[in-house]
Structure 1
Amino acid sequence: MDRKEFIRSAAILAGTPIYSKLTENNVSTNSLKVGLIGAHGMGWANLQAILKVDGVRCIAICDVDENVLDKRRSELQQQGIEVKTYIDYLELLKNKDIDALIVATPDHWHCLQLTDALKAGKHVYIEKPIGNSIAECRSMVRAVEQAKCMVQVGQWQRSQKHFTDAVEFVHTGKLGKVRLVKAWSYLGWKTPISIKPDMQVPPGVHYDKWLGPAQSRHFNPNRFHFEFRWFWDYAGGLLTDWGVHLLDYALLGMKATQPLSVMAAGGKFANPQGGAETPDTMTAVYEFDGFNIQWEHAIGISGGPYGRDHGVAFIGNNGTLVLDRRGWEVIPEKDRMEAVPFQKASDNGLENHMANFVTAIRKKDRSLLHAPIQAGGHIAILSQMGNIAFRTGKKLHWETEDQKFLEADANKFITPTYHNGYKLPLS
């Protein structure tokens, strides 16, 4: 995909409601055999969701931690499901019986695993954010455009009705001119990590296969499983973890695509001597023509804006619409409009999202996908912009046509350095 096509696709995605009422009852329920790469955490939740779709069977799982692999195999056996197990995902890709894959590994693996899966002719459900850098996101979009397979990004809120209902209300104009959109994640249940010493690789963990293209380091529990999110080698902290979900809807509500500029500030304020690299507290401001979108996050605090630990708020002259995973409401500005009472979520977004993925596969129609690769790439790149502004300590200006920053020192963060003999695909 060239730059103009990327921009055109992003513009379409930013202005189009995504939720549809299409269900699996409308398509053939012929058997679909799936495999899972990355069986810890969200990967397991994804698998359980897709298994609820008629005709879907899991036949293989892969994980570099044999402890996780054994646990999941046993749990599947308890559900009456027998699977083949793999430590190396490339061996799993040789299994010709697999039709579709769920990829739920740490972010730094996504680009390679998606690209290899497409070469093997597999449909892919790829966890968000799709890549750990701007260049990886571009590479992944190009790879999908050149393939014939269906690829759904794990931004499952695009398949939940109340999210689209809220965006459609914003588009009515009843809020008046929206000058500011806030998106936030306050992770009160999570304590900032403390420094831990390096240690021997735990039994059953194939650490070289976990590192992949990341820089070689001694094993440290802070960098493994869930905690990988707080290290630049593997992820981008809360801005790329929760930000891709919530900023996605900020863009959809505003029909926005490319920002004019971005600036960010924050740090390890909760635990300055802690073991993480990414900031536990951060604010990023994206400048658009006539409005700003603001992101903020805090680890270890639950009391976010409007009394919600996460959400998106469209702040207009007449009122403010506040949206989160539980529902949405409109708070009037004085007497300028009527309030809209809380509209409670009524469906399961993740299960809907998986059903939508299967529908697109069975109908062989990419246009049915609620979160196509262009949508995942666009919002992952926007989130990366905020992190790059934080890491440079500068207000950065984005050149839409050239798809790079005006500030040369920021552009060094666009393309990652791959290690251990790995190469960035399609670079």
Structure 2
Amino acid sequence: MNRRNFIRNVSALSTLTILKPEIVFASNTNSAVRIGLIGCGSRATGILGSMADNANIHITALADIFEDKVIKGIEFANGLNKKRNYAAVAKNKTYVGSDAYLRLLEDKEVDAVIIASPGYSHPQILEDTVAAGKHVYCEKPLAVDADGCNQIIRTANTINGKISAFDGFQIRYATPYVEMAKRIKRGDIGELVTVQLYYFSSGAAIIPYEGMSYDEMRIRNHYHFHEISGGCYLDQAIHMIDVCNWILGTTPLYAIGDGSKKGGPDFGNAWTNYQVIYKYPNDVNVSVHSSKFGKVFGDVCARFIGTKGLAEAHYSGGVFINGDNKWDSGIVRSASELTPESIAKGASSSSLDDADPNKGKAFIESITSGNYLNQLESGCHSTLSAILGREAASKQEKIMWDELIYTPQKIDPKLDLKQFPRK
């Protein structure tokens, strides 16, 4: 199927009567939101597993370029469906090949779509998903370049309250971060002066690629290729940048930076480390350190420093405020402090325990209640903020926000997707 035929078909579907969500779902408390999955990799299973554990969903369709990914996805999805006594994914609801996602979007038995394919593909898949009238949850990064973000913002502006569209930034739904953000915004640390963000990760494995085409090798190893994934800055540091934008309530004015590929494997072209300085409004300086290489996972932290105190949030290591208005979330600051007794009482060293569950529940509840939410523009602002830093580092020059937004910037992955046949 080509996009021209798809557009013709969804245009015809749009003339059909659309039932109100309270009729479709609320009339039957056992009604599940029917989910179609586009991209069947590891992040997809993470999203699905959490959502299935915490919301009433039935996975009914899967799509991926690669058949082996779909086969693994079917096994995982059917395990989740079985837990809720829902039917397995039908054989004719699995789609393989370059047009797989378009065929899934034509499926009338799919209410909502999760997009978990590599980042380069998100803008077009999002546009087509919205055109098909499906609710959508799209993993980050929403795009790998500014043109892709601008395309998504245009798509977001066509929604007009007709569907829910969620991004994959889940930290805004983590209870400890929500409380910390509230306290910072009400002035508990005084006037904000500077922010320190870092994300130190181990490297991504290299998927064996003997016998593969160059394009297949890059897609399967997308974290190692700048043009496919956007690089580690858009994969990981972007989470801390999203937290910063959320708490500051704005986007950066400009960025300067540096980085390199040092320490990484002799494979791919993605950088292993970035060091970026942003200038935000109100003369707030923000530093970001991001790395992805080696075998040891380091730490992830957002630290907000104000005139009356310091607020600090780690993925694992506590979420707290020191200063005039001390506060502690209760997240244990070291795993060594955990005991069987404290664990039994709910103690944890992770600040993200309820992030994915809360976000997944919010997505499904927005659909079943009819209180649709559109997070795409906010998600694009965080993605653009990360792109701003990555480009400043890559070019080793100061780049202004307006320059990024209004100067065409398209990264061509140069993929020949026609080589992946329909199955």
| TM bracket, shorter-chain basis | 0.7 to 0.9
The change in CA–CA distance for 1:388 and 1:352 in structure 2 (over 3 A counts) is same
- Counterpart for residue 290 of structure 1: 283
**Could you tell me how far apart the structure 2 residues matched to 1:119 and 1:341 are?**
45
Shift of 1:301: 6.6
**Could you tell me how far apart the structure 2 residues matched to 1:72 and 1:312 are?**
34
- Counterpart for residue 200 of structure 1: 211
**Could you tell me how far apart the structure 2 residues matched to 1:76 and 1:418 are?**
30
**Could you tell me how far apart the structure 2 residues matched to 1:156 and 1:248 are?**
10
Shift of 1:387: 1.2
**Could you tell me how far apart the structure 2 residues matched to 1:113 and 1:389 are?**
28
The change in CA–CA distance for 1:33 and 1:242 in structure 2 (over 3 A counts) is same
Shift of 1:302: 8.9
Higher-helix-fraction structure: 2
Pick one of 88, 103, 118 that aligns with 1:91: 103
- Counterpart for residue 120 of structure 2: 108
- Counterpart for residue 411 of structure 2: 416
Shift of 1:219: 4.3
SS of corresponding position for 2:266? coil
**Could you tell me how far apart the structure 1 residues matched to 2:391 and 2:51 are?**
35
**Could you tell me how far apart the structure 1 residues matched to 2:416 and 2:74 are?**
31
Pick one of 261, 265, 278 that aligns with 2:254: 261
**Could you tell me how far apart the structure 1 residues matched to 2:215 and 2:209 are?**
6
TM-score by length of 2: 0.77
2:29 is the alignment partner of 1:39:
no
Letter of the 1:315 counterpart: I
2:173 is the alignment partner of 1:164:
no
**Could you tell me how far apart the structure 1 residues matched to 2:184 and 2:77 are?**
43
**Could you tell me how far apart the structure 2 residues matched to 1:293 and 1:303 are?**
26
TM-score by length of 1: 0.76
- Counterpart for residue 62 of structure 2: 61
Contact 2:260/2:271 (<8 A) preserved: yes
5+ unaligned residues in a row in structure 2: which ranges?
1-24, 332-350, 418-423
Shift of 1:239: 1.4
- Counterpart for residue 311 of structure 2: 321
User: Deviations for 1:97-121, whole angstroms, at most 9, x for unmatched residues?
Assistant: 1111111000011111111112222
Q: Single out whichever of 291-300 and 68-77 deviates more from structure 2.
A: 68-77
Contact 1:199/1:219 (<8 A) preserved: no
2:155 is the alignment partner of 1:155:
no
**Could you tell me how far apart the structure 2 residues matched to 1:139 and 1:97 are?**
27
Shift of 1:363: 2.3
SS of corresponding position for 2:73? helix
Contact 2:254/2:400 (<8 A) preserved: yes
**Could you tell me how far apart the structure 1 residues matched to 2:110 and 2:379 are?**
24
Pick one of 168, 171, 182 that aligns with 2:196: 182
User: Deviations for 1:73-120, whole angstroms, at most 9, x for unmatched residues?
Assistant: 233344524113111111212211111111100001111111111222
CA RMSD of aligned residues (A): 2.9
Q: Single out whichever of 281-290 and 321-330 deviates more from structure 2.
A: 321-330
- Counterpart for residue 243 of structure 2: 249
The change in CA–CA distance for 1:395 and 1:60 in structure 2 (over 3 A counts) is same
SS of corresponding position for 1:399? helix
Shift of 1:65: 2.1
Contact 1:199/1:218 (<8 A) preserved: no
2:359 is the alignment partner of 1:353:
yes
2:372 is the alignment partner of 1:379:
no
SS of corresponding position for 2:385? helix
Shift of 1:70: 1.5
Shift of 1:391: 2.0
SS of corresponding position for 2:226? coil
Letter of the 2:119 counterpart: D
Letter of the 1:314 counterpart: F
Contact 2:120/2:413 (<8 A) preserved: no
- Counterpart for residue 343 of structure 1: 330
Contact 1:29/1:54 (<8 A) preserved: no
2:372 is the alignment partner of 1:366:
yes
Q: Single out whichever of 233-242 and 102-111 deviates more from structure 2.
A: 233-242
SS of corresponding position for 2:65? coil
Letter of the 1:356 counterpart: A
Q: Single out whichever of 344-353 and 135-144 deviates more from structure 2.
A: 344-353
- Counterpart for residue 88 of structure 2: 82
**Could you tell me how far apart the structure 2 residues matched to 1:191 and 1:110 are?**
21
- Counterpart for residue 16 of structure 2: none
**Could you tell me how far apart the structure 2 residues matched to 1:122 and 1:366 are?**
12
